[in-house]
Structure 1
Amino acid sequence: MTAQQNIGTHTFHTSFGKILALKENGVIKAKSIRYARSERFQRPVPLESVEHEEILDKTPACPQNINPILERLIGKTDINQFQPEESTQFLTITRPENFNENENLPVVVWIHGGSYEIGCGDLPISDPSAWVREQNIIVVSVSYRLGFFGFLGGNENRPANLGLFDIIEAIKWIKNNIHGFGGNPENITLFGQSSGGDAIAHLMISEGIENLFHRVIIQSAPLGFRHKRYKMSSDFFSKTEFLKDETDVLKITEKYVKFLPSVMKYGLKSSMPFCLQYGYAPLCKEEESLQKWKENAKKYDVLIGLNNDETALYIKTARQGIYAYLHHKILDKIVRKTTELIYEKPANIFAENYAKGDGNIYCFKIHPIVKNKIGASHCIDLPLIFENESAWISSELLKDIPWKYIHENGKKLRSLWAEFARTGKISDDSERPEILELRKV
C-alpha cells in the first residue's frame, strides 16, 4: 500500500477560471469541477466560468440506493464522504505532478458504470492515480445524473437520456478547457466500463458529438440488454410518475425500488431497469443503430471487450435464491451462457459490423488471474486499471488472488490501454499480460 506523501496544493489558471487542486503522491487532482447545472427533468446548461475556487469536503453524487451485493463483493461505501446532489454535473481531472507547461498529454475520459443507477466519477475503486503516474496521461472522471433523474423518461415533461446529455456536456467542457491543464483536446479517448461502456457505444451514434472525441475503450458493456426495452421502460416510467414532484430526493430513491419487482416479467433485461432509450434525443431508433455504427466506423478507433466470466459476480456469489443451491458445474454453465448472451455475442456483432464499415477495432477478453471461485467476473478489470490496494483490500471479488498478480497484470494492461489512447493502435511487440486475449478485427 502506498503511503501518502508530499501533500500540497496547486492552482490551475485556465480560461474557465482559477481552479485549486490537490498535489499528492505524484499527481495533481482538481476535484469536483462543476461543468453544468440542471433543473429536474431539464437538459444540462453549461457553465461559462468556475463557480468557486475551493476544494469540496464531500464528493457530490447523484442520489441512489447502495447495492449491498456490490458492497460485499467490491468494497464498502463510506456514505459520509459523499453529498447527495440532484444536479450532479461534476468532473475531476487527474494529471501527473511533474509536467512541462507546454505538454499536450493524451486525455482519457472515464465514464463510470453501475447499471445507470449507482456510482459516481470519484470513487476510490476507480482512482486513476497509478495509471496517470505510470503512463503520463490525463484522466478526467465524469459524474452525471443516474436512475430516476437521468435514465427514466418517456415524454417532454420527463425526457429520456438526460444522463447522456450530461456526459455530452462534460465532453464539450473537456474539449474546450483541457488544454489549460496540459491536455491535448485533439487526442481524447472515452473509456467506460459496464453501463459506462454502453453509454460510450451510444455516444458514437448520438447527435451533437461531432469532433468531440477520437477513440473509445469499452469494457464489459451489457449490449445484450439494449434490445426491445420500450415496454419495460414505459411500464416503469408510468409506475413512478407520482414521484416526479417529490422534493426529498432520498425519498424518491427509497420509493422507486418498490416497483422494481413489477418489471421482472421482462426477463434478464429487468436486472438493469434504467437505461438509454432509443427513439428519443440524442439517439436514433433501435433498428437504425447497427447501420449508424457502421456509417461512423471511420470516425473512431475502438477497443472493446469483456471478462471471461462476467455474470459470475452475481450468479456464483449468491447467498440466497436458487443459485445458492446449485452444483458448481451447473453454475459454470449458467455463467457461460449468460455471459455469452449479455456481453460476448453482442460485442462480437458490434465488432464485425464496425469492421465492415472499415473501422479500426480491437477485441479483447480478460481471463482469470488465478484459479478462484468467481473467475474473471464483471468488475475484475477495475482493480487492474485503477490500482488502489486500500480500496480493494476487503473485496470478495479478489478473495484468494494475491495482490502481486493484480499489480503485475495491471501494469501491463495499463500500458496497453495507454498506448491505444495515444495512437489508436496496439503494437504486436507490446508486452501483454498472460490473462489478456487480444485481436485486431
Structure 2
Amino acid sequence: MFRGVPYARAARFAPPEPVEPWSGVRDATRNGQISPQPPFRIGSVTGIPEEQPQGEDCLNLTIVTPGTDDRKRPVLVWLPGGAYVTGAGSLAFYDGQRLAAEGDVVFVGVNYRLGALGYLKLDGVSPGNLGLLDQLAALRWVRDNIARFGGDPGQVTVFGQSAGAHSIACLLATPASDGLFRRAILQSAPMAMKLAKPARAARVARYFTAALGADPRTASTAEILAAQEKTIVRAAGPGGLYSVPPFCPVAAADPLPPLAGWLPGAVRRAREVDVLIGTTRDEMDTFLNGKPGITQLEAIPFAGRAGMSAAKKAITRWMFDAPSMRYADALAGAGGRVFTYRFDWAAPESGYGACHCVELPFLLGDQASWAAAPMLAGADWTEMAEFGRKLRGMWLSFAKTGSPSPDWPRHFPKSPHGMKWAEIGPDRDVRPSPVAGVG
C-alpha cells in the first residue's frame, strides 16, 4: 500500500498542474491531506470515519497493489461520494485491500477538492469544476504511472458512489476523459441532478460571497468552510427541502459541455466504455429516516407511516432509479454494453432498509471500519463476509471482462419482456426484475 502519493498540485482556485519530480525515496506510509470539509453529513447512518489531516494540498492517491511488477493487472480507480462536500479516497471506509487481494487487481483511491474549494464558480476568482479537473489529473497520472505499480493503463475501471458516481457521469460527457478508462461503475448516482446551470452557479456564488464577507482567495479554510455551510443552508430553502448540493459540477464550464450536451457526450462514447449502473432499493431512507419533521409525520395515526414510506419510495424513483434507467437506456440504445442492478440487502435491525451507502461495506473497507455503522445494526457478519465476496467477485469480473457474471442479463432499452434490473441479494442469484424499482 502506498499512501499520500501526489498526482498533481494546485493553488487555491487554480486548475491542477503536474507534480514536480523528486529525488530519493518518498515516504508513502502515511495518508496525505484530504480536502477541507465539514463533519461527515450522514454519519448517523454510516458511522463516523476516522479523522485524517485536512488541507488544500490534498491531490493525492492511495494505491493498493499485489505487486510492483510487470503483471499488467486491471486497475480500479475509486471516486468517493459525499454530496461534493465530504469524503476522501484514503478513508478506512474505502480501503481496497480485499479487492486487490481477491481479484489480483490494483486499487487506486482518489482525494480531490470538494465544496467551495472544488466547485465554486465565481468570475475572476474560480472557474468552477476544479474537483472534476482534479479527477481527470488523477486518471492521467494513472495512465502514465500505474504500470510501475503492477497495473495495466489500458484496462482501467473507474467506479464511484453517490457524488462519485455522478462525477463519472460528468467525466463520460467530456472529451477530456477519452482514453483514460475502459469501464465505469456508477453506484447510486443522483442522476436527476444532471448539471448545474450557470445561472444557478452564479446565485450560489452570491450566497457564498455574502456569507464569507472577505476575499475568497485569501480567507482561511475555516472561514471558507463556515461560509460554505451557510450557503448550503440558504440554498436548501425553507425547511431545507431543496437538498441538491449547491457546490457541484456546472454546465458550460471546463471541462463540461453545455447542459444540452451532457447526455449526448456520454452517448458519443457508449461503444467505448462498458457501464454498470444501479441503485439501492431504499436510497432516501439514509437522508429522511429519523429527521424530526419526518418522524412527526410518521406518527400520524393510520396513514402517516404508510404515506411517508410511499413518499420516500417516490423520491428514490425520481432522484435515483428513473434517471439512472434513462441513462442506461440512452447508452444501450447507442450500442453500448450496459448492465444494471438494484441492491436489496438490508440489515434486520437498522430501520434504514437497503439505504444509500449500504452496499459499500461489502465492497470496500472491512468489519472493523464499518462495525459502528447504524445501517448495519443486527447484521450477521459471517453472512456479510460470504455475500461480500460474491459481490466483489461481480465487480471484479466486470473490471476484467466487461460483464459482472456470465449469466448477468445485459441491459436493453424497452426490452420486450420489460426486464430492467438485475437484483442483488445474499439469498438469490442475479435475477431480472420485471418492473424497474420494484422488488
* TM-score, normalised with respect to structure 1: 0.86
Q: Secondary structure at the match of 1:221?
A: coil
What residue number does 1:94 align with? 64
What residue number does 1:75 align with? 47
In the alignment, is residue 340 of structure 1 matched against residue 312 of structure 2? no
**1:149–1:228 Cα change, 3 Å:** closer
Alpha-carbon separation, structure 1, partners of 2:431 and 2:187: 13
**What is the CA-CA distance between 1:283 and the residue it aligns to?**
0.6
What residue number does 1:374 align with? 352
In the alignment, is residue 200 of structure 1 matched against residue 177 of structure 2? no
Q: Deviations over 1:43-65 (max 9, x none)?
A: 00012524761136454111111
Give 1:260's match in structure 2, choosing from 220, 223, 232: 232
**What is the CA-CA distance between 1:269 and the residue it aligns to?**
5.0
Give 2:18's match in structure 1, choosing from 46, 49, 52: 46
Residue identity matched to 2:266? W
**1:1-400 pair list within 5 angstroms:** 29-50=1-22, 53-55=26-28, 57=30, 59-67=32-40, 69-79=41-51, 82-96=52-66, 99=67, 101-226=69-194, 229-241=197-209, 242-243=213-214, 244-265=216-237, 269-318=242-291, 320-326=292-298, 327-372=304-349, 373-400=351-378
Alpha-carbon separation, structure 1, partners of 2:3 and 2:19: 16
Residue range with higher mean Cα deviation, 82-91 or 342-351: 82-91
**What is the CA-CA distance between 1:273 and the residue it aligns to?**
1.7
Alpha-carbon separation, structure 2, partners of 1:62 and 1:234: 23
Residue range with higher mean Cα deviation, 298-307 or 287-296: 287-296
Alpha-carbon separation, structure 1, partners of 2:428 and 2:225: 39
Whether the 8 Å contact between 1:367 and 1:436 is mirrored in structure 2 is no
Alpha-carbon separation, structure 1, partners of 2:346 and 2:244: 27
Q: Secondary structure at the match of 1:61?
A: coil
**What is the CA-CA distance between 1:376 and the residue it aligns to?**
0.5
Q: Secondary structure at the match of 2:126?
A: coil
**1:396-411 pair list within 5 angstroms:** 396-411=374-389
Q: Deviations over 1:87-133 (max 9, x none)?
A: 3110011012xx48331110000000001100111111111111211
What residue number does 2:421 align with? none
Alpha-carbon separation, structure 1, partners of 2:104 and 2:294: 48
Whether the 8 Å contact between 1:246 and 1:252 is mirrored in structure 2 is no
**1:228–1:164 Cα change, 3 Å:** closer
Write out the 4+ residue segments of structure 1 that deviate beyond 6 Å after TM superposition: none
Higher-strand-fraction structure: 1
What residue number does 2:420 align with? none
Alpha-carbon separation, structure 2, partners of 1:184 and 1:274: 34
Alpha-carbon separation, structure 2, partners of 1:248 and 1:369: 42
**What is the CA-CA distance between 1:156 and the residue it aligns to?**
4.6
**1:254–1:414 Cα change, 3 Å:** same
Q: Deviations over 1:275-296 (max 9, x none)?
A: 1111111111111222222222
Alpha-carbon separation, structure 2, partners of 1:143 and 1:310: 25
Alpha-carbon separation, structure 1, partners of 2:429 and 2:289: 22
Residue identity matched to 1:386? L
Alpha-carbon separation, structure 2, partners of 1:422 and 1:432: 22
* TM-score, normalised with respect to structure 2: 0.87
Say what the alpha-carbon RMSD is for the aligned residues.
2.4
**1:228–1:258 Cα change, 3 Å:** closer
Q: What are the ranges of 5 or more consecutive residues in structure 2 without an aligned counterpart?
A: 299-303, 409-423
Number of residue pairs aligned between Structure 1 and Structure 2: 407
Alpha-carbon separation, structure 1, partners of 2:338 and 2:431: 11
Alpha-carbon separation, structure 2, partners of 1:38 and 1:227: 24
Alpha-carbon separation, structure 1, partners of 2:59 and 2:252: 24
Residue range with higher mean Cα deviation, 294-303 or 221-230: 221-230
Residue identity matched to 1:388? D
Residue identity matched to 1:378? H
